[in-house]
Amino acid sequence: KFLNVIDNQLSILITRIPHGETMDELRYDGQTVVVTGAGGGLGKAYALFFASRGASVVVNDLGGSFKGEGSSSKAADVVVNDIRAAGGKAVANYDSVENGDRIIDTAIQNFGRIDVLLNNAGILRDVSFKNMSDQDWDLVIKVHVRGAYKCARAAWPYFRKQKYGRVINTASAAGLFGSFGQCNYSAAKLSQVGFTETLAKEGYKYNIICNVIAPIAASRMTQTVMPPDILDNLKPDWVVPLVAVLVHSSNTNETGSIFEVGGGHVAKLRWERAKGALLKTGPTLTPGAILKKWKNVNDFSEPSYPTGVADFMTLLEEASKLGDND
Ligand code: NAD
């Protein structure tokens, strides 16, 4: 039943996404998928799905608490056993994502290749900014920022050499919009957007496609902050189909994008720039001159959608041509 529902969701998505290839069932035979933090929640759903569609899966999980304390091999082992019992191929890895090279090594040693990296592992150490300790800050940044970096860095040479790679990084609404008591997590999660945007630019000519998702799903991370009836509609399984589409070989163009996904909702997000004010540089560029044009600074009636620093340089060029009366 679970796979049927995913199939239905996939076919809806495929008809909407401009892929060259349309398939009834996306498959990943012969590919190796590394899923970090795959012992529970979203990571477990990814691991089960990709194994059921022919991929060999590295099930990474440190097996600690959601605050990043302790470790255990149990979380990863349970998922590997489930996959094998269903006839799939999987191997466990218990390293912290901070040792991403060992996780990618596990893929190479066991399956000889790495095709897809799902940077999913994460922890929370929620506390108001006033009470935040260095440890709360450092641990969250280490797992999310350094962890995603170390895994991608170790996979990158393989991706480049084989001219094929697919990466999903995991952001969060907390990172995109801010969230009370989650300053460390917000900083870590928005970092995944910039990280992905640059990886997408550097990877494109090697057919390395990188996207970032801001998921919402019932897991041990959300079960204490959301009521049960809402959590029932937020199964991790409803995040899987979008990830499946983005990392499939038929996706050769959707890269560097941010998607919100969960509970049946899938939408792309992008940066929007207001009309803005152009002021001549020099002594006339005073606080008062900006205040005079404040309306334009905030005017979203004629927006643009920048995708790189080049857009900004064009604006600077225009500003440099302004006359004394502008
Ligand atoms: P989860 O706690 O169920 O899963 C996270 C997994 O990562 C756990 O199994 C944990 O053991 C593992 N992990 C933690 N630190 C690790 C480390 N250093 N190395 C290896 N594994 C480690 O939570 P989830 O909700 O499934 O979260 C998955 C990802 O989605 C996280 O990055 C989270 O920040 C993000 N996210 C989740 C939601 C949501 O609504 N659930 C919302 C926004 C973002």
pLDDT at 324: 67
CA 38–ligand 1 middle distance (angstroms): 8
* Contact call for residues 177 and 160 (beta carbons, < 8 A): no
pLDDT at 224: 80
Of 48, 80, 120, best ligand 1 pocket probe by most atoms within 8 Å of the beta carbon:
120
Average pLDDT of the chain to the nearest whole number = 92
CA 10–ligand 1 middle distance (angstroms): 24
Of 58, 60, 61, 260, best ligand 1 pocket probe by most atoms within 8 Å of the beta carbon:
61
* Contact call for residues 235 and 218 (beta carbons, < 8 A): yes
CA 159–ligand 1 middle distance (angstroms): 25
Tracing tokens 């933090």 back to the chain, one arrives at 37
Tell how strand 56-60 and strand 116-118 pair up.
Answer: unpaired
Q: Ligand 1 pocket by C-beta < 6 Å: which residues? A: 36-37, 39-43, 60-64, 66, 68, 75, 96-97, 120-123, 143, 147, 170, 172, 215-217, 219-222
Q: Catalytic residue numbers?
A: 185
Of 42, 60, 119, 142, best ligand 1 pocket probe by most atoms within 8 Å of the beta carbon:
42
User: Nearest Cα to 123, choosing from 37, 211, 212, 191?
Assistant: 37
> Could you tell me the strand order of the sheet in which 265-269 lies?
89-93, 56-60, 32-35, 116-118, 165-170, 208-215, 258-262, 265-269
Tracing tokens 């990188």 back to the chain, one arrives at 210
CA 144–ligand 1 middle distance (angstroms): 9
Nearest CA to ligand 1 atom 6: 37
Q: Which residues of the chain have pLDDT under 70?
A: 1-24, 324-326
Nearest CA to ligand 1 atom 12: 37
CA 293–ligand 1 middle distance (angstroms): 44
pLDDT at 14: 44
Of ligand 1's listed atoms, the one at least distance from the Cα of 75 is 9
